[in-house]
Amino acid sequence: DAGVIQSPRHEVTEMGQEVTLRCKPISGHNSLFWYRQTMMRGLELLIYFNNNVPIDDSGMPEDRFSAKMPNASFSTLKIQPSEPRDSAVYFCASLLTDTQYFGPGTRLTVL
Amino acid sequence: DQQVKQNSPSLSVQEGRISILNCDYTNSMFDYFLWYKKYPAEGPTFLISISSIKDKNEDGRFTVFLNKSAKHLSLHIVPSQPGDSAVYFCAASAAGNNRKLIWGLGTSLAVNP
């Protein structure tokens, strides 16, 4: 199994642009999580899905952030419009029983 | 409010010696605890876990100890190797909460040759 796949690995964009991060979870995993990691706040859970349904989006910072999971093998996290304070590493993880498995992350830089 | 606390941001240990990483939690509903290891430019990788019905779980060089009364857990690495140098995250979850993990801020371990 290839593990959790995220794309792109790096994204540099200008303030105001739309950014879309993508995630393919491990096949057979029923839950998917989006995290943001910054130096100041560490790993923050943004949103998670169970069987493609959003369960808890209380960590989504504001309306500029949205996430979708149209099917069991794909999820997106969109930021529109992006701001410099959104610069961080964004991780996707999928869950098997009690253990989350992480992708390599997308490093986002908003200029 | 940090429900999971790793009070030591960094730790330096000599190769071959024991590394002890500590984690405290405040929520008595937590019943499952995990340690993850993270190398730069990679996602966290699962290392070892422990259920609240146990007080110790061992996997090779890695042992996790849980003290429920003190709401404290620790990760022991024996013997430490230079390849163990990474950031270690403690995480906890509660049953019935879809296994949503609450994370500590991490401890950066440096194992010196």
What is the chain B residue with the closest CA to A92? Answer: B43
Taking residues B27-47, what's their average pLDDT? 93
Give how far B43 is from chain A: nearest CA, Å. Answer: 4
Give how far A57 is from chain B: nearest CA, Å. Answer: 12
Confidence of residue B87 (pLDDT cuts 50, 70, 90): very high
- Predicted pLDDT of residue B98: 63
C-beta separation of A46 from A35 below 8 A: yes
- Predicted pLDDT of residue B22: 98
Q: Name chain A contacts of B42, Cβ cutoff 8 Å.
A: 104-105
In a 3-state reduction of DSSP, which class is residue A86?
helix
Give how far A55 is from chain B: nearest CA, Å. Answer: 9
Compute the distance between CA of residue A74 and CA of residue A68 in angstroms, rounded to an integer. 9
- Predicted pLDDT of residue B54: 96
Taking residues A9-23, what's their average pLDDT? 97
User: Is there a contact between A93 and B43 if contact means CB atoms under 8 Å apart?
Assistant: yes
- CA distance to A51, A52, A78, B50, B95, per residue, from B103 (Å): 23, 23, 24, 15, 16
User: Is there a contact between A48 and B43 if contact means CB atoms under 8 Å apart?
Assistant: no
Of the candidates A48, A50, A41, A47, the one whose C-alpha atom is nearest the C-alpha of residue A62 is A47
Compute the distance between CA of residue B81 and CA of residue B15 in angstroms, rounded to an integer. 5
Of the candidates B41, B31, B37, B33, the one whose C-alpha atom is nearest the C-alpha of residue B5 is B33
